[in-house]
Structure 1
Amino acid sequence: MTEVTQAAPALKEIFNRARLQHIAEQTAAVYPAFDVPAFLTHVSKDLDNLSLMQRLNRVSRGLHACLPDDYVATLDILYKLAPRLNSGFVTLVLPEYVALYGQHDFERSMQALKYFTAFGSSEFAVRHFLRLDFGRALQLMQDWAQDDNEHVRRLASEGSRPRLPWSFRIETLMRDPSPVLPILDALKADSSLYVRKSVANHFNDITKDNPDWVLDQIESWSLDNPHTAWIARHALRSLIKKGDRRALTIMGAGHAAQVRIEQLSVSPEQVRLGDRINLSFRLTSTAAHSQRLIIDYALHYVKKAGGTSAKVFKLKTLNLAPGESVRVSREQQIRDFTTRAHYAGKHELDILINGECLARTFFDLTD
């Protein structure tokens, strides 16, 4: 029997016709005058050709077309609607509404974003208010960083990221990240993993434009707190992949590794698109003392024009005692992504330890 693997539905199907019907019904439940047919006609037009974020925006505009013109009255309806929606991502239509139609009422709108973020996230919408009045918005977000609700604390960090995915960049913070330091400093030992992930991603964003600023901050931290140490490790991941010596030193791996790599192999040596490769090698310490080792591998993808482009993948971090040996292995599927296509040819694979390439092997991708 042939096994059939069904592809996962596209993300944009979060806003499929059944979900649009749900939004309409729940809105009518809290606002009986809501024109359900008009709303569905508005949001369903050309639906199949709209992306996820275009569908989100369309729903917010559809709500605006069928709710009262009075912004305060509509906010009251949306406050009642928020807990009734059956998807956290779908609730993003509510802060999107605020971003589209509430910029004239700054304080009320920022309070609405604070409320709505607990149901999904207001991270995209709040950026419009940072762009509208940077200082005023940032002051409120500094207060949010002290809030009892982890969703609100996360919004303070996530919403002010300079390079938030799926949103526009905040050029002011790309040039100078110092205005967000009070937010990040308040959250650098947060008890919530949800918040810590945001803080780490925020710092990692900043390393793309201001790596020394990030390193200066983290070098001043005490990493005795496990929450702070977790943030530091994940905040520096891009710099560590680049072999940045200061970042590696912060993580205790700034020294050259004293090791021997044996039995390095990639199997199979010849693969087709969709196949899996298995990377394996034995690592033995040649040092007289324990070593902190950060082990990555770089895969040099063949490009359409014939050159290569390297992407670094994490393997593991470990402490290796004198003379100790460990087996390191990883399986990876060679498949296309929306962000990366594969082309036939010899693919180099480098073993990186503490930022240095210590061994190399190859495999062939065939048509």
Structure 2
Amino acid sequence: MICLTFPLANISVEKAKLSLIAFDGEGFLSQVADLRQSPLEKRNYMPELMKDRYYNYNTIHELAMCINAVYPTFRADDFIANIMDETWDALELKARMRRITINLGKYLPHDYEHALGILDKAIAGYPVGIVDSGLLYFPDFVEMYGQDERHWDLSMAALERYTRYSTAEFAVRPFIIKHEARMIAQMTAWTEHDNEHVRRLASEGCRPALPWGQALTSFKKDPSPVLQILERLKADPSLYVRKSVANNLNDISKTHPDLITELARDWYGKNEHTDWIVKHGCRTLLKKGNRAVLDIFGFSDVDCVNVVNFSLDAASVCVGEDMTFSFQIETKKETKVRLEYGIDYVRANGRRSRKIFKISELLLRENEKKSYRKTHSFVDVSSRKHYPGIHSVTLIVNGVEWDTLNFKLSTL
């Protein structure tokens, strides 16, 4: 799940700060955690689908009007009607986006260069620098109609322009698959671009396992071409770019943990921006308790640490409610500590699977004691449905499992 915070419509700024918006791979935009909601209100909350937020009559009409303003013979009414037929409501987000792209191809001139010229003028009606997922059909048009060899320069220039309005990270992937070396050269050039959206495209576009994107099997097997690009972005001044570099490293760590461990040793401790990338890029390895990676970040000592009074507020919890646990941690000498907990969820088949959650990272002084009280939600969300049965919570200190407590999850 990818989580982002921003003010929700029709609520105060103060309340918006307490709201968490979650976007998952199924295309949901949902308010999954509002600290002012009761458990019952949380259970009854219906998420807004991203397909409805981004692809609806108003957004399609706006696109048609932007095109019509620069291409007066554009058949706007036919364009809209052909997109929003009786099957529209059943289409998921990517299918809706692709249908819009197909109809752009149908109602714009069939000459690719001419059509791009019209789209270039139309997209100028949208704000630049605010990447809008609703505009993905602009780079998607390049993916669908611009892969012919004779269109290469036009298509690369178009992707470079459109990614400033709506990311071209998905559209570049077929080009990489067909022309890997040529695209690596292009993306290397993009790493030097003065626009952060273009530099981010250089990293995000070559992620081996980009959510929603075509898998880049070649880079999964050998990520060295990707690492050459990331090397050039490892101290980028833009957090937007650095997040992409870190996510790329995290992708690679899942198939090449030793390679990323060595890279982390080489990169860490030389630049503040790079340090952030390395830490965030190693998050999966940290959650897995990779000893070598934990050592790089100083989370190596557990012998001097002690955890006491680990307990649950209640031995049973209902779906839709919160589970709360507490504990105290103390140390005999100054120690850097990473605290996590794992929840062993009951799956639909009755088996259990674990998910790790971070609590805190801190430096404990000699003989210092610190108390924690943690609440974990069992509200059903689009990315997780909860099933009744015996669950467990395990406390993890510097990658070492400390203690486990069982509790019962029930339905109302």
TM-score class, shorter: over 0.9
Q: 7, 24, 30: which is aligned to 2:46?
A: 7
Deviation of 1:146 (Å): 1.4
How far has the Cα of 1:75 moved from its partner? Answer: 0.6
Which one of 31, 36, 57 corresponds to residue 71 of structure 2? 31
Moved runs in structure 1, 4+ residues, more than 3 A? 2-6
2:62 pairs with 1:22:
yes
| Partner residue in 1 for 2:338 | 294
Aligned to 1:96: 140
Q: State the 1:78 CA deviation.
A: 0.9
**TM-score, normalized by length of structure 2?**
0.85
Structure 2 residues not aligned, in runs of 5+: 1-39
Amino acid in the other structure paired with 1:171:
T
Provide the rounded CA distance (Å) in 2 between the counterparts of 1:83 and 1:268. Answer: 57
The corresponding residue for 2:384 is 340
Would the aligned equivalents of 1:300 and 1:348 in 2 still touch at CA under 8 Å?
yes
1:168 partner letter: Q
Matched, 1:167 2:213: yes
Q: Distance in 2 between matches of 1:344 and 1:324?
A: 39
Contact 2:324 2:373 in 1 (8 A): yes
The alignment status of 1:119 with 2:165, answered yes or no, reads: yes
Question: Secondary structure of the equivalent of 1:249?
Answer: helix
Q: Establish whether residue 202 from structure 1 lines up as the match of residue 263 from structure 2.
A: no
TM-score (norm 1): 0.95
1:155 to 186, 190, 201: 201
Structure 2 counterpart of 1:363: 407
Contact kept, 8 Å, 1:257 with 1:293, in 2: the verdict is no
How far apart are 1:177 and its partner, in Å? 0.3
Matched residue of 2:292: which SS? helix
Specify the code of the residue in structure 1 equivalent to 2:55: F
The yes-or-no answer on 1:42 pairing with 2:87 is no
Amino acid at match of 1:68: P
User: Which has the higher mean CA deviation after the structures are superposed, 254-263 or 312-321?
Assistant: 254-263
1:314 and 2:314 are equivalent in the alignment: no
Q: CA deviation at 1:217?
A: 1.2
User: Which deviates further from its counterpart, 19-28 or 117-126?
Assistant: 19-28
Match of 1:83 among 103, 124, 131: 124
Secondary structure of the corresponding residue to residue 113 of structure 1 = helix
Secondary structure at the aligned position of 2:363 is classed as strand
Q: Determine if contact 2:301/2:398 at 8 Å carries over to the other structure.
A: yes
| Alpha-carbon shift at residue 6 of structure 1 (Å) | 4.8
Say which is worse superposed, 245-254 or 153-162, in terms of deviation: 245-254
Cα distance change, pair 278–43 in 1 and its aligned pair in 2 (3 A):
same
Consecutive unaligned residues in structure 1, runs of 5 or more: none
Distance 1:224 1:327, change over 3 A: farther
Report how far residue 329 of structure 1 moved: 2.8
Give the aligned CA root-mean-square deviation in angstroms.
1.6
CA–CA separation in structure 1 for the residues paired with 2:194 and 2:187:
13
* Paired position in structure 1 for 2:6: none
Describe the shift of the 1:279–1:80 C-alpha distance in structure 2 as closer, same or farther (beyond 3 A): farther
Would you say 1:58 and 2:99 are equivalent positions? yes
Output the amino acid matched with 1:163: A
Give yes or no for contact 1:113–1:122 (8 Å, CA) kept in 2.
yes
- Corresponding residue for residue 396 of structure 2: 352
Q: 2:186 aligns with which of 127, 135, 140?
A: 140
How far apart in 2 are the matches of 1:253 and 1:317? 9
Q: Describe how 1:256-275 pairs up with structure 2 within 5 A.
A: 256-275=302-321
Distance 1:270 1:83, change over 3 A: farther
Instruction: For residue 95 of structure 2, give the secondary structure of its aligned residue in structure 1.
Output: helix
Take 1:268 and 1:53, find their aligned partners in 2: how far apart are those partners? 43
**Inter-CA distance 21–257: structure 2 relative to 1 (3 Å threshold):** farther
Contact 2:66 2:123 in 1 (8 A): no
Contact 1:257 1:354 in 2 (8 A): no
Measure how far apart 1:326 and its partner are: 1.1
Q: How many residues align?
A: 364
